[in-house]
Amino acid sequence: MLIGEIGRSAMLMLILVVPYVWISSIWSAMTRNPRVTLSSKMAVVAQFLLVGLASACLIDLLITNNFHYAYVVSYTSRSLELIYRIAAFWGGDAGSLLFWLLIMSLYTLVVRFTRHEDSERMLPVVTAIMSFVTMFFVLVLNLAANPFTVLSAAPADGNGLNALLQNPGMTVHPVNLYLGYVGFLVPFAYGMTALILKRADATWLKVTRKWTLISWLFLSCGIIYGAHWSYEELGWGGYWSWDPIENAALMPWLAATAFLHSAIIQERKGMLKAWNVILVSLTFLLTLFGTALTRGGLLWSIHAFANGPMGFWFMSFVGLMTTLTIFVIVWRWGVFKMMTAKFEAVVSKEGSFLLNNVLFLGALFAVFWGTVFPLVSEAVTGTQMLVSGPFYNSVVLPIGVALIFLMGVGPVLAWRRANMKSLRFALMIPAAVAFGVGIAVWVAGYQNLLSLASYMATSFVAASILLEFYRGALARTKITGENMLFSLVRMISKNRRRYCGYVVHLAVVVMVIGFATTGGYSQQVTVNLTTGQQVQIGNYVLTFHGLETKDEPGKVLLQGDMLVQALNHSKNQSTLGPVIGVLKPNVTFFIDGNQPTTNMGLYSMPFADLYVVLDGSDYKTGQSLFEIHLNPLVNFIWFGGYLYILGTFLSLWPERRRKAKPESPAVRNPLPEPIA
Amino acid sequence: MSVRVRLWSAFAIVIVVIVSLITVGVVKSATYDLTVTQALADHLSADVPITVRGQVVGNSVAWEPSHEYLQFSIANTQGSSTLRVRYHGLRPDDFTNGWPVVVTGKIGSDGVLTATQLLIKCPSKYEAKS
């Protein structure tokens, strides 16, 4: 009981410490008294240590199966593996809020002790804003969702973690999402600080962009990993099903993506200052709003969040934060009036970035409207109505195609005013490539229109980006005389943000090819097979070699055995090639009486996945029922995902601070503008 | 026309297109989202697709793997009213008594809902029964 009491006491002490951080930060900002500043810094350390202590105590209770605590009983059991006992920390409502608080206090600590231009003036205000949000979480944890609630009598065993969640995904997906979600508080705090201090200038933007990019990277990792996990789990609706929770993660992602692009205009031109503050605020408010929607039981989600008082708490807080944000923006509107540059032409890089923002916010609004539609329709008509996949696909996919097209045009547009003649010249090759690919795909017999449009749009973008790399490297080679490859590497390393941004765009292209192909050309057969029978799907033949049972600790597996062979086509006949893979779909029965789970058998090739589900067997007839899917290019979604993470990561990697040899300005920065 | 006006006109067109896409999308694909009690009480036309949320009644589940045919009933939270559902497709994991599911389809004249979609809840944040 001692550990639990320490955890609970740590949480209680936070009720005093966090307000102290808040007050002392404000005091420090107003007086700039070194002693007050030091004291507030120490309070930030204490805040982190106390949250860390409470978290460590909760993890200890979970690991040691201390069933005196309701939270431990709800999410663990004696037979649960250690890794999932730790994962139970963020597996439940109260624990996940403490986890949120842990990340937030860690970020506050990092932010408070970083140094940048004007940090002495800005950081106390930033800290005050962050600790204001922290206070809300401390209150909710102590009053409404305390993970240290003691039971009157300890049961012999806990309820355990649901079998579907006992998956490595449970250690990766939620953690990344929280790291991303919580991270958006930092850009918001900087945005508000910039306004309060009347400093909506470059310093604010530089720090904010970095924090947004970090949070955006985590959020993207979380979303991509979640999609992968959902793809492999039967009954979760594939890699994306437009569930309210998925939308809750997508909405801040869309707003942040819009910001990462419009930030470039402010950086280069000093324009759109107000707009950028609004975008980072919107991103942060959407993270709170998403949490309020999905935790309050307001919306039905396939992610079964608890229906509790959490919705009321979060909704009230969203209301408060939105009001305060609008107040600060209106109060300090004058700060934005110092805008100097003006748009000189519609067809220009500035114009394309603005259109990008309109499209991203259009998609955001569509997702938002679809997500809250049940609430709106109930308020207006009295009956809840909802929209699902077809609605989102019919709105978001066309916007997506427009965005992809823009990705191809944007890089070749000049700042200020594009020269139409050179624009036409620059786009000629990508357009020719797109039409070539379109015709080739059509002739090859793949005539699904949406997929075809996607292939053409993506090849247009890919050609346009690769040409950018080529032209840049060629220009450098001409000046320096280096060889092409060396020149390319040097060019990328010297303009890392710009070219890594293009890598992220290429990653999106790869992912879209995956979406378009699985969407248009997936095949599915459902067959009953007896031992020795074969079934063909696409270019593959699967031979069923019978069922076997396997005993594992705590469970028994009923496993099907299938061999995969590819068909080789020669002039007039098809022959079976050698065995290339084995599929082992199974049904797992748990000895403790839990519901059996179905695990699909997967044979993954670079260009296609064979995905088999064993869905029952009849002992009388000896037949087993299989659902077999052939998903072409589905791996492109994950390959693209990895490339996307790599591109963002490289773009974030700090610049080396060594002095470069003097070079001519043209070589140092032949194409200077950053892309993200 | 100044650049500003042209820029805003271009964006206005984009915004109008997006708003029309949303409006058409909502009109075409919105379904009624009902509880079991509401689904039984509402006298909706059989042509209207509805989405019904309920909990699986454990002893009502009949699963014929050879035909991929699943029949079951879903009940409201009190268990006082139930709706019969038929579904052609695979039986999801976690298809046990009391498990929350969502079905989308149309209720026929026989009072049975023929589901075109069946989703179960991902059990994240699943609050176990105490």
Do the Cβ atoms of A511 and A640 come closer than 8 Å? yes
In A301-376, where do the E strands start and end? Answer: none
Do the Cβ atoms of A405 and A456 come closer than 8 Å? no
**In angstroms, rounded to a whole number, what is the distance separating the alpha carbons of residues A109 and A17?**
14
Burial group, residue B110, by CB count within 10 angstroms (0-12, 13-18, 19+): exposed
Instruction: Tell me the mean pLDDT per 10 residues along chain A, length 676.
Output: 92 96 95 93 97 97 94 89 91 89 96 90 95 95 91 87 80 91 95 89 85 94 90 74 88 95 85 88 93 66 55 87 95 74 75 90 94 85 81 89 89 77 86 95 89 92 92 89 87 87 94 91 88 92 91 84 90 86 87 75 91 81 86 93 92 66 43 46
In this prediction, residues B85-96 reach a mean pLDDT of 78
Chain B positions touching A528 (Cβ under 8 A) are 66
Q: What are the residue boundaries of the structural domains of chain B, listed by start? A: 1-30, 31-120
* Residue B21 pLDDT greater than 80, yes or no: yes
Count how many residues are written for chain B.
Answer: 130
**In angstroms, rounded to a whole number, what is the distance separating the alpha carbons of residues A463 and A166?**
43
User: How distant is the Cα of A339 from the closest Cα of chain B, in angstroms?
Assistant: 15
Question: What's the CATH number for A523-633?
Answer: 2.60.98
Chain A positions touching B51 (Cβ under 8 A) are 386, 388
Provide the token pair at A558. Answer: 């009923």
Cβ contact, residue pair B92, A300, below 8 Å: no
* Residue B25 pLDDT greater than 80, yes or no: yes
pLDDT band at B45 (very low <50, low <70, confident <90, very high): low
Chain A positions touching B26 (Cβ under 8 A) are 369, 373, 387, 391
Do the Cβ atoms of A451 and A516 come closer than 8 Å? yes
pLDDT of residue A508: 95
Chain B positions touching A246 (Cβ under 8 A) are none
pLDDT of residue A233: 76
User: How distant is the Cα of B6 from the closest Cα of chain A, in angstroms?
Assistant: 7
Provide the token pair at A349. Answer: 């890089």
φ, ψ for residue A235, nearest 5 deg: 90, 0
Do the Cβ atoms of A244 and A375 come closer than 8 Å? no
Closest C-alpha to A261, from A338, A194, A165, A360:
A360
Q: Which of B25, B33, B63 sits opposite A374 (nearest CB)?
A: B33
Provide the token pair at A561. Answer: 């055995």
Range with the poorest average pLDDT among A443-447, A453-457, B6-10, B19-23: B6-10
Cβ contact, residue pair B127, A93, below 8 Å: yes
Chain B positions touching A171 (Cβ under 8 A) are none
Do the Cβ atoms of A343 and A351 come closer than 8 Å? yes
Q: Which of A174, A595, A616 sits opposite B93 (nearest CB)?
A: A595
Most B CBs within 10 Å, among A272, A300, A626, to test the B interface = A300
Do the Cβ atoms of A126 and B90 come closer than 8 Å? no
Beta bridge partners of B107: B113
In A373-419, where do the E strands start and end? Answer: 385-386
Fold of B31-120: OB fold (Dihydrolipoamide Acetyltransferase, E2P) (2.40.50)
Q: Which of A92, A162, A344 sits opposite B3 (nearest CB)?
A: A344
pLDDT of residue A394: 87
Closest C-alpha to A410, from A514, A501, A490:
A501
Cβ contact, residue pair B51, A528, below 8 Å: no
Amino acid at A135: M
Here the ipTM equals: 0.76
Q: Which of A165, A343, A625 sits opposite B4 (nearest CB)?
A: A343
Chain A positions touching B6 (Cβ under 8 A) are 346
Widest pairwise Cα distance in chain A: 88
Cβ contact, residue pair A394, B21, below 8 Å: yes
Q: Which residues contact A325 (CB under 8 A, 6 or more apart)?
A: A188, A192, A281, A285
Cβ contact, residue pair A304, B10, below 8 Å: no
- Quickly count: other Cβ atoms within 10 Å of residue A552's Cβ: 9
Q: What are the residue boundaries of the structural domains of chain A, listed by start? A: 1-166, 419-521+636-653+663-668, 523-633
**In angstroms, rounded to a whole number, what is the distance separating the alpha carbons of residues A658 and B54?**
64
